[in-house]
Structure 1
Amino acid sequence: MSLVSMIESQVVERRKWLSSEDMLDGVALASLLPGPMAVNTVAYVGYRLRGGLGALVSAVAVLLPTVLFMMVLADLYFRFGTLPQVERVFFGILPAVAAIVLSVCLKMGTKNLTSPVQWVAFVFVVVLLLLMPKAYRIYATFGLVALFGVAGFLFHYFGNKKPLEVEADGSVGVALEQVTATRKTLPSGRWLGFLFLGVIALLGVVPLPVARDGLTSLMTTFGSMSLTLFGGGYVFIPMIQDVVVDRFGWLTAQEFIDGIALGQVTPGPILISAAFIGQKVAGIPGALLSTAAIFAPPAMLMVLMAGMLEGIKSSKAVQAVMKGIRIAVIGLIFRAFLNIFMMAWPDGGDAVVQSAMVLIVFILSFVALFKYKVDVVWIIPVAGLAGYLSGLI
């Protein structure tokens, strides 16, 4: 959600390329589909702006710096067996990221939560996420988005004097007709895309006569797993560990833990750890191929579904569903703010000084973003520098 918030800040607030509603629709669709939400949302933004090529360029651009960063750190790790000391920089960055997410959440809330009922529903989402046991949190994103989609339709269905299905333009009928028309007129290229993804998914369960530690094995393993990823990167970690440590023996258990740690301290999605694994197995080509395999299939599915969404979104029934979903998405973003802020809060050492540092960076970042509209590009490096300097005091 931190990356989504940064993209929203640039695309919606600063450059005015998309509306807040369009951005929320992309986040909602990314929440329902497999794959890392942030990269899928970036692919959606690129697709909305420049079609398939825009989606490709956007996804590559947002991943490339992180991949290069991970490859350098992985090389240092495999050479010297230690992790670089970058925690001080990220100590300053985390509270700034929390401020970015909160500012975006407030901006989205003021634009899309326009009635007391919607605000009550938003509070319900946040409280539910806070009280939900950890064992069930992996289902929270998909479940809440689906639940509020149904609730949005029912609320507008019963709340209007003229029910959606009997309005003059026959909105529900139009929705069904548009869905049917979309299916009938779906371009052949889109069907081929779905077929290609189906083949990728099957490659993960069909044994192939290839080396277990080669590039083909990396591609089929990460590609097929990527299409089963629901609930975020942390949910995916046990599945990856089972395959790369227990089944194939590509990494030791300690190397896998260190690779996940590197994925957490590098900017970008945690699944960038696939580059670490690929580099251990097959060097730089393995790192690049593993990254492409774990991010490309979900992004491709996102683009295919986004194209279908645009064809039916003019229906009032679909609009009602999206209004409900947007409430859940804003609640999820606020929950992400709380998570990041708690991660930034110190839990040992000189806690008083560190806590003051976290609060100062958070408050200054929030004021700069929300009141003075300072670009995110300046907030993150300044906060990282402040964190690094605080460690020298």
Structure 2
Amino acid sequence: MNHDAQTAPQAPTLGEAFFYWLKLGFISFGGPMGQIAMMHTDLVEKKRWISEHRFLHALNFCMILPGPEAIQLAIYISWLMHGVTGAIMAGVLFFMPAFLLLSVLAGVYLAWGDVPLVQGLFYGIKPAVVAIVLFAAWRIGSKALKNSVLWAIAAAAFVAIFAFDVGFPWIVLAAALLGVVGGKIMPDKFTGGGGHGASDKQYGTAVIDDHTPTPAHARFSWVKLGVTVAIFVGIWGLAMLAVGGQQTLNDMGSFFTKAAFLTIGGAYAVLPYVYQGGVEQYGWLTGPQMIDGLALGETTPGPLIMVVTWVGYLGGVTKEVFANPIAAGFAGAAVATFFTFLPSFLFILSAGPVVESSRNDLKFTAPLTGVTAAVVGVIINLAVFFAWHTFWPKATDATPFVAPFEWFAVVVAIGAFVALWKYKVDVMKVIGVCAVLGLAYTLAMGAM
């Protein structure tokens, strides 16, 4: 194989790329890190479509963008290889299987969610979600909170959203401003942790190798940038015009556009914002329904931010955007998904040429370090909220700790967290075991 490694493999055709991205859309379990690892194994090590250095360079860029980094990396690599057509193809195929699956599951959930079997399964899944979100906070926090200043920002963010109900966008803005100021007066406290540096691993010559010239379509020009931005603004405007006659769909369009620009720190970071809007502000779904959606989002392929499809579907049905509930659900799901992912294509197609022209390793900036710290506090608040609704299912703001208290759910949540944290058990296995435990417990209690 060594002599083959010296020769670049044949560049994939658009058709070959299509089937790869389609397959990835169906098997991309494991959250963003799992999806990125899968792409690295396939595209860098096995197929050698792109070199290690170019892959990590693209990943660095996607990590500092708002939005789901795994899908943006797929868009970036496919754009480098096959231009705008490749970008659209990879992006759509990445989320389309999850969109269809979650839409169908949402319909099934609304039709049969009251069946004891389904209720039993979700009884076990809910505490698993509490553990998963808490584990996400621990995982991000252990990397991001490297000093007392960043711990203080995380704590302040938690207090702001938990005690004072401050909106997520204001927390992000305040944390970014703290990062800007902090980066100037105490730069050592705001040096970016995390990120992905260059690697010296070699897997052989790639189609897009370290020294392969930037393709013509990926070269930067001010005219191209202006045209790209104008086209996207036009697409967004036409889409908003198309849903403008229906108030709920119009609200979803503007809300999920804002959400897309706030997903710095991944899906877990934007979930509190989606919760605030979807549950509290617009009433598209209830808190427990949001937890159920997150559980299904964890167990289906595609990025976790696909929970917006669930929120959109339930919102479309709840607000009766069409008389037919299936049509209403799919309309809501389509609008939520479209407006969430449109900015991801804009970021890559407009800024990608700038990144290709620099080809320097991008570092996390001081503002981003501040935002990442705040995100940890916000995610802990989300875990507290989910725990509250799971352990005290009949609780309200007026009676926050009203009986019954679900002690079994607490035991399951603790067990799930230990499994994730100490024993590194796969998320899907944890959810599966918790679902079975929940079903067994509810059947046992029902038989008494």
> Shorter-chain TM-score: what band?
0.5 to 0.7
Deviation at 1:387, TM superposition (A): 1.6
Judged with a 3 Å threshold, the aligned counterparts in structure 2 of structure 1 residues 264 and 225 are, in CA distance, closer, same or farther, namely same
Alignment TM-score, normalising by the size of structure 2: 0.56
Asked if 1:64 corresponds to 2:97, the answer is yes
* 1:90-239 matched pairs, under 5 angstroms: 90-106=126-142, 108-109=143-144, 119-132=147-160, 133-149=164-180, 151-152=182-183, 185-186=221-222, 188=224, 190-203=225-238, 212=245, 222-223=252-253, 225-229=255-259, 231=262, 232=270, 235=273
Match of residue 347 from structure 1 = 391
Aligned partner of residue 227 in structure 1, secondary structure: helix
Judged with a 3 Å threshold, the aligned counterparts in structure 2 of structure 1 residues 136 and 384 are, in CA distance, closer, same or farther, namely closer
Judged with a 3 Å threshold, the aligned counterparts in structure 2 of structure 1 residues 313 and 6 are, in CA distance, closer, same or farther, namely farther
Judged with a 3 Å threshold, the aligned counterparts in structure 2 of structure 1 residues 240 and 96 are, in CA distance, closer, same or farther, namely closer
Match of residue 334 from structure 1 = 376
Alignment TM-score, normalising by the size of structure 1: 0.62
| Paired residue type of 1:191 | G
**Of residues 278, 290, 304 in structure 1, which corresponds to 2:335?**
290
Aligned partner of residue 134 in structure 1, secondary structure: coil
* 1:314-325 matched pairs, under 5 angstroms: 319=363, 322-325=364-367
Deviation at 1:339, TM superposition (A): 3.3
Judged with a 3 Å threshold, the aligned counterparts in structure 2 of structure 1 residues 313 and 350 are, in CA distance, closer, same or farther, namely farther
Q: 2:248 and 2:169 mapped to 1: Cα distance? A: 26
User: What are structure 1's unaligned runs of at least 5 residues?
Assistant: 31-36, 160-181, 246-252
User: What are structure 2's unaligned runs of at least 5 residues?
Assistant: 1-27, 45-51, 191-217, 263-269, 298-303, 393-403, 442-448
**Of residues 19, 39, 44 in structure 1, which corresponds to 2:72?**
44
Instruction: From the two aligned structures, give the one with the greater helix fraction.
Output: 1
Aligned residues: 325
Contact 2:279 2:286 in 1 (8 A): no
Contact 1:9 1:104 in 2 (8 A): no
Q: Deviations over 1:213-236 (max 9, x none)?
A: 6xxx99877545543445546546
Q: CA RMSD in A?
A: 4.7
Deviation at 1:192, TM superposition (A): 3.1
Judged with a 3 Å threshold, the aligned counterparts in structure 2 of structure 1 residues 263 and 302 are, in CA distance, closer, same or farther, namely farther
Aligned partner of residue 312 in structure 2, secondary structure: helix
**Of residues 275, 279, 298 in structure 1, which corresponds to 2:313?**
275
Q: 1:211 and 1:89 mapped to 2: Cα distance? A: 37
Judged with a 3 Å threshold, the aligned counterparts in structure 2 of structure 1 residues 49 and 146 are, in CA distance, closer, same or farther, namely farther
| Paired residue type of 2:377 | R
Judged with a 3 Å threshold, the aligned counterparts in structure 2 of structure 1 residues 242 and 327 are, in CA distance, closer, same or farther, namely closer
Deviation at 1:309, TM superposition (A): 5.7
Identity %: 10
